[in-house]
Amino acid sequence: MTVSDNAAGRARIDARTLRTDRWWLSPLLTFAGLATFIVYGLVRTFMNSAYWVPQYQYLAPFYSPCLSEACVEGSAHFGRWFPDLGFLITPPLFVLPFVLGFRLTCYYYRKAYYRAFWFSPPACAVAEPHAKYTGETRFPLIVQNIHRYFFYAAIPIAGILTWDALIAFTGKDGGFGIGLGSLILLTNVVLIWCYTISCHSCRHIIGGRLTHFSKHPVRYWLWGKVSKLNGRHMQLAWASLASVGLADLYVSLVASGVLTDLRLFN
C-alpha cells in the first residue's frame, strides 16, 4: 500500500459502527447529566429568590457574586455594579457568561457535549450522522480557542466563592459557627478550585513554552502538581458541576424555609 492509497480515505464500511459494546451509554448519561443541570440552572436563574440566608451568611453559588441593585439586602458583598433590570435580567445573568463560557469551552466538556448533543461523533468508531466535518476551524466553533481567557475570568470567581465559603462559618450570634451549609459550601469551593486549576490551559500557562524545565524548578514543580490534577479533569468537571448544583439547592431550600440548617456548632 502506498502513501497515496492511505490518503484516499477510510475503508468503506456500510454499518454505522462495528462496535458491539454499549457505546451509547456514556453519551446518554452525559446528555442526562448536562440536561438536568441546564434545566435546574434555568429555573434558578429566573427564580430570582431564595438565594441568601442572612442568619448564617449563606449565599447560593448561582447568585455569587451578586452585583445588581436587585440583590437582596446583605447579599451584594462586592458592590452593586448594575441597575435592577427587572425579572428578565436577574442578578446571575451578569456573571453567567463567564461561568458558562469557562465550562462550555472546556476541553473536556467540548468532547462531552459534541458527543452527547451533536453526535459528532457519538463515540469512538461510531460514524456521525453529519455529512460534513469542519471541526473547530471556523466560526462559530473557532471561538472555543478563547478558553484561556475564560480561565483567567474563572480565577477571581473561584476567589469570590472562597470568600462566600469563609463567611458561611457564621453562627447564630454573629460569631463563629458551623452548619451543614458551611460544610457544603466549603466542599463546593474546594472542588471548584480543583476543577479550575486542573484546566488544560492552566497546565500550559504554568509549564508550557519552556525549553528547559531544569532552569525553572518552581514552574516545573507546579506543573507536576497541576498535571496530576489534570489527569482527573473529567472527574473534577462532573464533581464540581454536581457540587455547585447541590450547594445552590441546599441554600435555596434553607433560604425559602423548606429546610432548617443542621447546626453543628453555634
Closest contact distance (angstroms) between CB of 34 and ligand FES is 14
Closest contact distance (angstroms) between CB of 236 and ligand FES is 9
| ∠ Cα 130 133 139 (to 5°) | 115
Indicate which single residue of 31, 98, 107, 163 sits in contact with ligand FES (rule: CB under 6 A): 107
Indicate which single residue of 34, 67, 76, 106 sits in contact with ligand FES (rule: CB under 6 A): 106
Among the listed ranges 92-100, 164-172, 194-202, 258-266, the one in contact with ligand FES (CB under 6 A) is 194-202
Q: Cβ closer to ligand FES: 107 or 119? A: 107
> In the range 141-160, which residues lie near ligand FES by CB under 6 A?
147, 151
Write the secondary structure of 153-186 as one string of H (helix), E (strand) and C (coil): HHHHHHHHHHHHHHHCCECCCCCECEEHHHHHHH
Binding-site string for ligand FES from residue 62 to residue 101, where x marks contact by CB under 6 A and - marks none? ----------------------------------------
Count Cβ atoms within 10 A of the Cβ of residue 265 and give its class: 0-12 exposed, 13-18 middle, 19 or more buried: exposed
Rounded distance, CA 86 to CA 68, Å? 11
Per the listing, cell 457540587 goes with: 243
Q: Cβ closer to ligand FES: 60 or 237? A: 237
Rounded distance, CA 110 to CA 143, Å? 12
Task: Tell whether residue 108 is a contact of ligand FES (CB under 6 A).
Answer: yes
Rounded distance, CA 36 to CA 119, Å? 19
**What count of other Cβ atoms lies within 10 Å of the Cβ of residue 135?**
10
Task: Tell whether residue 163 is a contact of ligand FES (CB under 6 A).
Answer: no
> In the range 197-216, which residues lie near ligand FES by CB under 6 A?
199-201
Among the listed ranges 9-17, 51-59, 83-91, 193-201, the one in contact with ligand FES (CB under 6 A) is 193-201
**What count of other Cβ atoms lies within 10 Å of the Cβ of residue 140?**
7
Task: Tell whether residue 226 is a contact of ligand FES (CB under 6 A).
Answer: no
Rounded distance, CA 108 to CA 237, Å? 8
Residues of this chain that bind ligand FES (CB under 6 A): 106-108, 147, 151, 199-201, 233
